[in-house]
Amino acid sequence: MGLNRVRRGIAGAALLAASSAALVLAAAPVTVPDWLAPKIAALPKAKRDFLMSDGTGSFAARKELLFRRFETKTPAEIEAYIDGMMAVVEDRKFRAGRDAPNIPLDTTDEGFNAWRTLRPSSLDTPRTAGPINLNRYMTAGPKQGIPTFFNLPVALTPADLKAGKVDAAIMGIGLDMGSGYRGAAYGPRAVRVGEVYKGQFPVTPENMHVMVSPFVELNVVDYADVAVDPMSTERSLEHIRQQVAAVARTGAIPIIVGGDHSLMYPDAAAMADVYGKGKVGVVHFDAHFDAQQGGEHLMSHGQPVYRLFKEGHIAGKNFIQVGLRGYWPDAKSFQWMREQGFRYHPMAEVEKTDWKTVMDRAVREARDGPEKIFISFDVDVLDPAFMPGTGTPEPGGLTMREALPIVRRLCAETNVVGFELVETNPLVDPGYTSALNANRIIRECLTGLAMRKRGLTGEHYISPLTTDHGLPPYPVRKPTT
């Protein structure tokens, strides 16, 4: 979430009342204090109307706070203050003749689409379609070889995915221009190399909690990176959407490693392109709700949810959010989410109940809806202690011990058709923690998918081998006197 988005959210906040049953969010009539009435009696109607309107929300969250500034001002000074506010409001608007909406691109440039031009197979050494193993040796250690996600084979085309009967394709998308804090573009690279103990061939370690190895049960590949226009989020999104949809159409599950959260729009829209609008549910892990409305840019890492709804890709009843906290969304935004039918689980709910209760609710809700689920995992849902390398950290988030089981359960207990992990920013991580934990979230997703393929879809399955040592309990010794 960018700083401009935070400021807009805070400035627009107007929590008027609350009850144990529901938030009361209807705008209350403005009451002018007795001491202020004579000071503004001579104001022109346009200025008085502005003073009483919602247009002052970016200057003071509540009218009483604004009025308090007028206590020591004369009528002339109050009118000048109102003039200043009105001038700011007008100056912020687009004005034809003064403002160009953007600097035109040079469409005559011969390299206009160079960034997204695919390499023709005829330029390469002829090969049979299928995944390519880049390792020279049987065992790929962590200190040698060409880095790939989990040291997996590489696939470059949909034909490779089909020929290899690939179950899941992990793809990097280094987009970070939709974020106020750059560096997430290096997230895919950091995750590729950010764990010492990778899935090394032929070693295929099992997940100790469930005794399932995703690399035994699933055919997984590194699908390389999707190109982005390094100067434009808007130009990048359609190409990303096409590439993600192309993976899904082969039957493989696209697992996207970003990149900032602008990616949620093309990634989830691609799922709707393949499976139908309104036919895919979304489970969204995030500290922020990312449904900002308005603003001069129509697409950023703070707007993908709203754009998905605006274009009808996702139905509100099929949208579940987990981990919201901090100072945004505000009360009006929560009301908007209620109107859309969102099901949300902020950290306040965890504080009120407990994590197991919230996790169980969220997983049940994911099963109570469409047959197909897309998971969007913004790493800032994690507490900064576990994810310092992210652009918009927010204290009080999930621990890794809370995040791993819900990701594993969703991938095992629901029909996940796509997964994204976004906002890993190694440039602001003082160590290796962020890449390590991002890597483990993806591994947990793959483990859940492997469990589902094995038929281990019962509620919160954990292997009895790892939870019970099989020996009778030791007798309790009576204290000696």
**With the CA atoms of 57, 58, 61 and 63 taken in that order, what torsion angle do they form, in degrees rounded to the nearest 10?**
-50
pLDDT surpasses 60 at 140 = yes
What value does the mean pLDDT take over residues 146-166? 95
Of 167-176, 181-190, 377-386, 412-421, the poorest mean pLDDT is in 181-190
Residue 3 confidence (pLDDT): 40
Whether 315 maps to a domain, the answer reads: yes
Mean pLDDT of all residues in 407-411: 98
Q: Above 80 in pLDDT, residue 247?
A: yes
324 and 399 inside one domain:
yes
- Asked whether residue 140 is assigned to any structural domain, the reply reads yes
Position 13 scores a pLDDT of 36
- What pLDDT was estimated at residue 197? 54
Confidence of residue 17 (pLDDT cuts 50, 70, 90): very low
pTM: 0.86
The reported pLDDT for the residue numbered 4 is: 44
Are 57 and 150 part of one and the same domain? no
Structure-model confidence comparison of residues 103 and 116, the more confident one: 116
Please give the full DSSP string across 100-157, using - where no structure is assigned: -SSPPP-TT-TTTTGGGPPPPGGGS----SS-B---SSSS--TTSS---GGG--B--S
SS3 257: strand
Q: Would the pLDDT of 10 be above 60? A: no
Residue 102 counted as domain residue: no
Q: Are residues 215 and 85 in the same domain?
A: no
Average pLDDT score over residue span 275-283? 96
What are the distances in angstroms from CA 284 to CA 312, 371, 399? 17, 16, 16
CA nearest neighbour of 460 among 381, 417, 415, 406: 406
For the stretch 37-54, pLDDT in tens is 999 999 999 999 999 999
- With bands split at pLDDT 50, 70 and 90, how would you rate the model's confidence at 318? very high
- pLDDT reported for residue 474: 77
The verdict on 86 and 212 lying in the same domain is no
298 shares its domain with 152: yes
Per-residue pLDDT, 328: 83
| Residue 292 to residue 383: CA distance in whole angstroms | 23
Residues 385 and 244 in one domain: yes
Percent of the chain scored above 90 by pLDDT? 74
d(C-alpha 32, C-alpha 42), whole Å: 14
Report the pLDDT value the prediction gives residue 203, as an integer from 0 to 100: 53
Beta carbons of 261 and 292 less than 8 angstroms apart: no
Of 31, 66, 91, which closes a domain?
91
Q: What is the pLDDT, as a whole number, of residue 202?
A: 47
* Same-domain check for residues 86 and 138: no
What pLDDT is attached to residue 115? 92
Domain ranges, residue 248:
129-464
**Domain limit, last residue, from 62, 91, 120:** 91
C-alpha angle with apex 109: 105 to 115, nearest 5 degrees? 80
d(CA 452, CA 221): 18
Asked whether residue 308 falls in the same domain as residue 448, the answer is yes
Look at the block and give the residue holding tokens 């790892």: 466
Look at the chain and report how many structural domains it folds into.
2
Q: Give ∠ CA 419-429-151 in degrees, rounded to 5.
A: 50
The reply to whether 139 and 279 lie within a common domain is yes
> Is the predicted pLDDT of residue 135 greater than 70, yes or no?
yes
**Predicted pLDDT of residue 237:** 95
Whether 106 maps to a domain, the answer reads: no
Nearest to 179 by CA among 116, 215, 233, 107: 233
Domain identity same for 428 and 308: yes
- Tell the residue number behind the tokens 């990778």, with chain if given: 198
- What pLDDT is recorded for position 66? 96
Residue 208 in domain = yes
| 356 lies in some domain | yes
Structural contact between residues 321 and 342, judged by C-beta atoms closer than 8 angstroms: yes
What average pLDDT does range 94-99 have in this prediction? 86
Between residues 373 and 140, which one has the greater pLDDT?
Answer: 373
pLDDT in tens, 282-313: 999 999 999 888 777 778 888 899 999 999 99
pLDDT tens digits, residue range 352-363? 999 999 999 999
Residue 148 has pLDDT above 60, yes or no: yes
Range from 137-151, 270-284, 415-429 carrying the lowest mean pLDDT: 137-151
CATH number (domain holding residue 292): 3.40.800.10
Judge whether 106 and 113 are in contact, CB under 8 Å: no
User: Is pLDDT of 23 > 70?
Assistant: no
Q: Residues 114-126: pLDDT tens digits?
A: 999 999 988 999 9
Residue type, 248: A
**Is the pLDDT confidence value at 19 over 80?**
no
pLDDT of residue 158 exceeding 90: yes
Say what the pLDDT of residue 481 is: 66
pLDDT score recorded for residue 145: 83
Final residue in a domain of this structure, among 66, 91, 116 = 91
Closest-CA residue to 325 (of 392, 387, 264, 425)? 392
Q: Is the pLDDT of residue 280 over 50?
A: yes
Name the amino acid, one letter, at 222: D
78 with 182, same domain: the answer is no
Domain presence at residue 397: yes
Residue 256 pLDDT exceeds 60 = yes
Q: What's the confidence (pLDDT) of residue 185?
A: 95
d(CA 88, CA 59): 10
> If residue 222 lies in a helix (H) or strand (E), which one and from where to where?
strand 220-225
User: Do 67 and 146 fall into the same domain?
Assistant: no
Q: What is the pLDDT confidence band of residue 29, given thresholds at 50, 70 and 90?
A: confident
Report cis status (omega within 30 of 0) of the bond before 259. Answer: yes
pLDDT band at 9 (very low <50, low <70, confident <90, very high): very low
**Residue 382 domain flag:** yes
Can you give the pLDDT at residue 142? 67
Residue 102: pLDDT over 90 = no
**Per-residue pLDDT band at 456 (split at 50, 70, 90):** very high
Higher-pLDDT residue of 7 and 159 is 159
Q: What local confidence, expressed as pLDDT, does residue 249 receive? A: 98
By DSSP bridging, strand 220-225 and strand 17-18 are: unpaired
CB neighbours (10 Å) of residue 24?
A: 13
- pLDDT band of residue 28 (cuts 50, 70, 90) is low
pLDDT of res. 176: 94
- Predicted local confidence at residue 15, as pLDDT: 32
Work out the mean pLDDT of the chain and round it to a whole number. Answer: 89
